[in-house]
Structure 1
Amino acid sequence: MRIALSIEHPAWAYQFRHLVALLRQHGHDVRLLAIDKDHSYALLDAFGYAYDRIAPTTGVGVVQKGWLFFLTTVRMYWVLRRYRPDVLLGRASPMLAVCAFFLRIPHILFEDTEHSRFSLFFCQLFSTAIITPQSFTRDLGPKQIRQPIYKELFYLHPSVFRPDVAAVAEQGLNPDRPFVLLRFVAWTASHDFGLQGLSPQEQLGIVEQLSQVAQVVVSCEGELPQQLTQYAYRLPVSRMHHLLAHAALYVGEGATMASEASVLWRPLSVP
């Protein structure tokens, strides 16, 4: 079977990493279409996966995102038309859903973000099946299939993930002292319109308080304030979960990493 899968966020690369390997082990031909949001390309490179480079960004603001929606849809369409897959897999990609409609290809996706209204709107119209966790409260209609699963278990289940304590020393931390991992997001996703996170002053205040009782590591999607550069996460993006698995506490704005901390049995706090 010929399968195409889109990677438009680092979390998607993590989520489908082992699925791609499993499908290939069973003799299926899998092609990846990728958009470089927050080091998606770097992750796929670290995993050793070849992929089609569709766009270098998902854009910022309504105008740029609208233009990129059109551009990436066209690029995906031509790649898929030449590849002629039997099925499309992935997350709630509105571009892939539109391509599925015009190419008459089944599109099966997994989604857990209830406020991704723009993406889910197109998927409800054009996709074949939408798999969600049982805890997903929105009713997406007859295409929705609820399953007892969280996406974080795709890549953090003990059967596929073994935390490497060496990541602590690789970050330059003292393994004998506790550390806190902080995550600040850029708030540029389509489902973040109208929302904003902590100000640079608030970020600095949190770090200063936590640094009095523990070592601090800060991961930031946007530009890190100059005063916080000494705390910056320095490892390859593929090592993030190995560091998170040994944190004494996770504090962050991102829901995905908060869920990952829970799956890894790490204490967490949302500012």
Structure 2
Amino acid sequence: MRILVFANTPAHVHLYRHAVDRLEDAGHEVLVLTREYACTTDLLEFYGLPYRRYGEHDVAASSTATIARELGGQLGSIVREALRFGPDVVFGRGPYAALAGTVARAPTVLVLDDEPGDFNHTVSRPFADCILSPRVTRRDLGDSHYTFDGFKECAYLHPEIFDADGAVREYLGVGEDEPYALVRFNALDALHDAGLEGFTRRQRRDLIDRLSERATVFVSDEGGEMDLRNLPARPYDLHPALIHDAMAEASLLIADTGTMVTEAGLLGTPALRYRGTDDHEYGEFRELERVGLAEQFDGYAGVRDRAIELLADDGADARWRRRRRTYVGDLVNLTDLLVDVAEAAGDLEELERSSRAALQPASVTASERP
């Protein structure tokens, strides 16, 4: 089989990387289509995944109109690559996968989460043969939409898959028992981020000052605009492939971006999300709050004070790891499911019994919500 996968962000690389490896090991031909954005191609290179670039994303392009123009210039490349490769099935999301599947006349599988806005769903839903999303998402996208008990991040952070590299402390230059906090500042440059604001410059500096009183602070600044020379913090400068190992060892993660909060929570690391001006209600965060693996805050003072409280709490790490053991191990191993769906060319009727049992029509999931 020929399997085409879209990886437009670093998170997409992680979502599919184990499945790509297993499909190649099984003798299938896989191609990852990507764009030059943040560390996406660095990760593809690190994991040795077969890829081609169809364009790039300018992190300064934060307006909807600018992003739409950028997208228009990329679609021609996607058409050429899809026709050249001739896939039997396409995996991805939004207009990218929808277009590729349409021109190649291949079944299209969309793997979605509870993102805000309707653009990606509106343009891709009519072309999808199969839509998969976590059961905690709040949408029903029709007869082809099925949900699974877990998160997209379970494709690479499920306990059956993820094994932390304990040497990450040595790479970071911190002691075996030295507490450290990871702080992630979002560039807010994706389509669904248009118009949003996270931590202000003053809040960023204040947060770093407060955290540094109790822990070593590492800052990952997606926009690359922060000058840390006069602040008590170090830049997080390890290879991006090591970020989950660093999260797993951290005493705390704070971010105004969603994916890393979800990841930290699933790793059993106390995770705090500052919403800023984002008033979208995400099903994933609501679920992680329910099981005590992540917390969200509307105001800066709340996230700051809670962060200080957790760093002063000697029992916080143990509580979070205990909650992870109780909750995450029972979630779906999404890589197993993606491999089975790929080998069935997106036809869920052809799935093995165990994979079919892991899926439920979204209409049923929606009817069960309060």
- Cα distance in 1, alignment partners of residues 134 and 33 from structure 2: 25
Corresponding position of 2:208: 207
Bigger Cα displacement from structure 2, 57-66 vs 255-264: 57-66
> If you compute each CA radius of gyration, which structure gives the higher value, 1 or 2?
2
Give distance in 2, aligned partners of 1:83 and 1:58.
Answer: 26
SS of the residue aligned with 2:82?
Answer: helix
**CA deviation string 1:129-174 (max 9, x = no partner):** 1101111111212221111121111111222221112112211223
Aligned to 1:14: 14
CA distance in 1, matches of 2:58, 2:33: 13
* Counterparts of 1:42 and 1:94, CA distance in 2: 24
* Amino acid in structure 2 at the alignment position of 1:12: H
The 1:116–1:241 alpha-carbon spacing in structure 2 relative to 1, beyond 3 Å, is: farther
The amino acid of 2:256's aligned partner reads: E
TM-score if structure 2 supplies the norm length? 0.70
CA distance in structure 2 between the aligned counterparts of 1:8 and 1:217, rounded to whole angstroms: 26
CA distance in 2, matches of 1:241, 1:206: 22
Unaligned 5+ runs, structure 2:
275-370
Q: Secondary structure at the match of 2:139?
A: coil
Q: Unaligned regions of 5+ residues in structure 1, if any?
A: none
Quote the offset at 1:229 in angstroms. Answer: 8.8
Measured on the aligned residues, the alpha-carbon RMSD in Å equals: 1.6
* Corresponding residue for residue 4 of structure 1: 4
Q: CA contact under 8 A between 2:20 and 2:49: conserved in structure 1? A: no
SS in 2 for 1:95: helix
**CA-to-aligned-CA distance 1:21-42 (integer Å, 9 cap, x gap):** 1111111111111112221000
What is the DSSP-based 3-state SS (H/G/I as helix, E as strand, rest coil) of the residue aligned with 1:245?
helix
Residue 55 of structure 2 corresponds to which residue in structure 1?
Answer: 55
Identity of aligned residues (%): 30
Q: CA deviation at 1:98?
A: 2.0
Which of 54, 73, 77 is equivalent to 2:75? 73
Alignment CA distance shift 1:241-1:252 (3 Å)? same
1:195-227 deviation digits (Å, cap 9, x = unpaired): 111111111110100000111111111024213
Q: Which residue of 2 aligns with 1:156?
A: 157
Please, which moves more after superposition, 143-152 or 206-215? 143-152
Q: Distance in 2 between matches of 1:50 and 1:183?
A: 29
Normalising by structure 1, we get a TM-score of 0.95
Preserved contact between residue 98 and residue 122 of structure 1 (Cα < 8 Å) = no
Runs ≥4 in structure 1, deviation > 4 angstroms?
Answer: none
Give, in angstroms, the shift of residue 181 of structure 1.
0.7
